[in-house]
Amino acid sequence: MLWLFYILVITMIVGIPRALGYHRYGVLWETFLQELGVDYVVSDSTTLGHLTEGAKHVVDESCLPLKVYMGHVASLLNRCDLILVPYFRQLGREDEFCVRFWGLYDMVQNTFAGAKLLTYPLLSSRPGHQIAGFIQMGKTLGKNPLSSLRAYKTALSKQHSADKSRLEEGQIALANDGPKILLAAQPYMASDTLFGGTLANLIRKQGATPLFPDAWDRSICRNRSRELSSDLYWTTNREVMGAIQEARSQVDGIILLTAFPCGSDCLTNEIILRRVRDLPIIQILLDDGQGMAGLETRIESFLDMIAQRKRAI
């Protein structure tokens, strides 16, 4: 019967929710599974259906990204055998992920009782924790440690290459003619097709170029964020804040895209509004009730204001 067990493990399909950490580590996860010869499926790009479905599985006070994530998980339940739900806490000693990442595994496990989950930790206080986590994932999938280690190294290299490509694309975009607008948002908002994607298209429609925080090196951004706040410790918020510092002399305006009711975004945005006074800034707050209605008019008005400001200089 042991051989039958291994066959069942080897033929497992892993589901990957296209939300939250996927927008930062998606290449790493997909390549790791590819290198191990494991079948996987990524949930479809975000739609209002994901948001509506996800909202059914969380309390009303949950933030928009969490509702979207739960909708993606729900869409995978009948399409795979395991769902990848990492446990993220720290990227560095002074860099912590939002608490929604800390409890994500437990929330998914308790919300979808029949779902089988695959996970690994991201805890910087433990040397080699990420490698050990990927080796453990490989073991769960019926792979030996050496194969998992090789797959991890290849996956990490490809993730670094993908990150470098995004930097290069961002720098190319900076050379475009016309107004340039920094869409300052956490990656799971900026890179999501429903949220950041919709705003980026509206910006392009008005003849401007949208730029995202990943157009600048994350480690440099985390360091530069201290110029605006020495106390902020949320990893992705620090990267957004540092990207603003990097972009201040290169863009014509900033859109602060915030998910309701995100406490870390609210605090970060307040700091930015008080300390960045040399550029036009607009806040756009999204929740599951408002949706994307009325955004085109706001973007058009914001770009008109920027054009008037330039003519006045």
Domain ranges (residues) in the chain: 11-159, 176-312
Predicted pLDDT of residue 90 = 65
Token pair of 170 as six digits: 């961002």
pLDDT in tens, the chain (313 residues): 444 444 444 568 999 999 999 999 999 999 999 999 999 999 999 999 999 999 999 988 888 999 999 999 999 999 999 999 998 776 666 667 777 777 888 899 999 988 899 998 876 655 577 888 899 999 999 999 999 999 999 999 999 999 999 999 998 999 998 999 999 998 889 999 999 999 999 999 999 999 999 899 999 999 999 999 988 888 888 999 999 999 999 999 999 998 887 778 888 889 999 999 889 999 998 877 655 567 888 999 999 999 888 777 6
Task: Give dist(CA 289, CA 247) in Å, integer.
Answer: 32
The helix or strand, by DSSP H or E, that contains position 88, with its residue range, turns out to be strand 87-88
Pairing of strands 117-118, 209-211: unpaired
CA–centroid distance for 4 within its chain: 38
Q: What is the DSSP letter of 231?
A: S
- What is the C-alpha to C-alpha distance for residues 37 and 130, in angstroms, rounded to an integer? 20
Q: How far apart are CA 24 and CA 191, in angstroms?
A: 9
Contact 115, 129 (CB under 8 A): no
Residue carrying the six token digits 């019967």: 1
DSSP 215: G
pLDDT at 155: 96
Question: Which residue from 144, 105, 154, 96 is spatially nearest to 124, judged by alpha carbons?
Answer: 96
Q: Is 129 helix (H, G, I), strand (E, B) or coil?
A: helix
Tokens at 158, concatenated: 């490809």
Residue spans of beta strands (DSSP E) within the chain: 13-16, 39-42, 82-84, 87-88, 90-92, 95-96, 117-118, 121-122, 180-184, 209-211, 253-259, 281-286
CATH number attached to the domain at 176-312: 3.40.50.11900
Give the separation between CA 113 and CA 109, rounded to whole angstroms. Answer: 6
What's residue 95's pLDDT?
66
pLDDT at 1: 47
Nearest Cα residue to 77 out of 58, 104, 45, 54: 54
DSSP code of residue 186: -
Q: Which CATH class is domain 11-159?
A: alpha beta
First CA to last CA distance, the chain? 78
Query: What are φ and ψ of residue 67, in 5° steps?
Result: -60, -45
Query: pTM of the prediction?
Result: 0.89
Same fold, 11-159 and 176-312: yes
Strand order in the sheet with 281-286: 209-211, 180-184, 253-259, 281-286
SS3 253: strand
